[in-house]
C-alpha cells in the first residue's frame, strides 16, 4: 500500500460564487493569468479551469485560453449580471433543494389521495367492474410515473 494521500476538494456553489464575485468589478472584457488566479484562491488549477468551463457552458462568459492558461481572455455576458444578481450558484442550489422537498410533499399527498380512491373503487367493483379496472389501471400508471408505492397495481 502506498503512502499517498488523496486530497479531494469538492467544488461547491460557494466556491463558484466566490470566483464569479471576482469579476463583479472587472471590465466587461479583459485578460488574466489563470495560474495566478487559482493560486490566489488557494485552489487547484484544474478545478478553476473546469469551473470556468462551466461558466462558458452556462453562457455567463466567454473565455479564450492561451499560453497554457497563463493568459485567459474573457468577456462577461449579460447573463452573468442577471445570474449574480439573482444569487448565483448558492441560490440555484437552495432553489433545487426547495423544489425537491415540494415534490416529495406532493408525491406524499398524491399517495394519500390514491389510497382514498382505491378504497372507493372497491365499492364500485360490484356495480361496474369495467370502470373499476380502468380506474385501477390509471392509478397504477400515475403511481409508476410519480414513484408512489406500487400497491395500486
Domain boundaries, the chain: 13-85, 91-152
Choose between 12 and 4: higher pLDDT. Answer: 12
Residue 20 reports pLDDT greater than 90: yes
Q: Read off the pLDDT band of 85 (50, 70, 90).
A: very high
Q: Is the pLDDT of residue 49 over 90?
A: yes
User: What is the predicted pLDDT for the residue at 8?
Assistant: 58
Largest CA distance in the chain: 80
- Residue 26 and residue 57: Cα distance in Å, rounded? 20
Category of 42 on φ-ψ map: left (φ > 0), alpha (ψ -120 to 50) or beta: left
| 36 conformational bin, left if phi > 0, alpha if psi -120 to 50, beta if neither | alpha
6 has pLDDT over 60: no
Cα–Cα nearest to 39, from 54, 24, 49: 49
The pLDDT value given to residue 37:
93
On whether the 13-85 domain is CATH 1.10.10.10, my answer is yes
Sign of the dihedral through C-alpha 42, 44, 45, 51: negative
Residue 147 has pLDDT above 80, yes or no: no
Joined grid coordinates for residue 67: 499560453
Whether 32 has a pLDDT exceeding 90, the answer reads yes
Mean pLDDT of 83-106: 93
Amino acid at each position: 500500500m502506498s503512502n499517498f494521500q488523496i486530497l479531494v476538494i469538492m467544488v461547491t456553489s460557494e466556491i463558484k460564487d466566490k470566483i464569479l464575485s471576482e469579476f463583479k468589478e472587472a471590465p466587461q472584457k479583459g485578460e488574466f493569468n489563470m495560474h495566478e488566479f487559482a493560486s490566489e484562491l488557494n485552489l487547484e488549477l484544474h478545478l478553476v479551469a473546469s469551473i470556468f468551463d462551466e461558466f462558458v457552458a452556462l453562457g455567463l462568459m466567454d473565455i479564450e485560453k492561451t499560453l497554457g492558461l497563463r493568459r485567459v481572455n474573457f468577456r462577461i455576458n449579460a447573463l452573468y449580471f442577471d445570474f449574480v444578481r439573482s444569487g448565483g450558484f448558492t441560490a440555484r442550489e437552495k432553489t433545487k433543494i426547495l423544489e425537491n422537498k415540494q415534490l416529495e410533499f406532493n408525491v406524499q399527498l398524491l399517495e394519500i389521495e390514491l389510497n382514498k380512491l382505491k378504497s372507493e373503487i372497491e365499492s364500485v367493483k360490484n356495480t361496474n367492474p369495467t370502470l373499476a379496472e380502468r380506474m385501477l389501471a390509471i392509478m397504477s400508471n400515475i403511481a409508476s410515473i410519480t414513484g408512489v408505492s406500487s400497491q395500486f397495481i
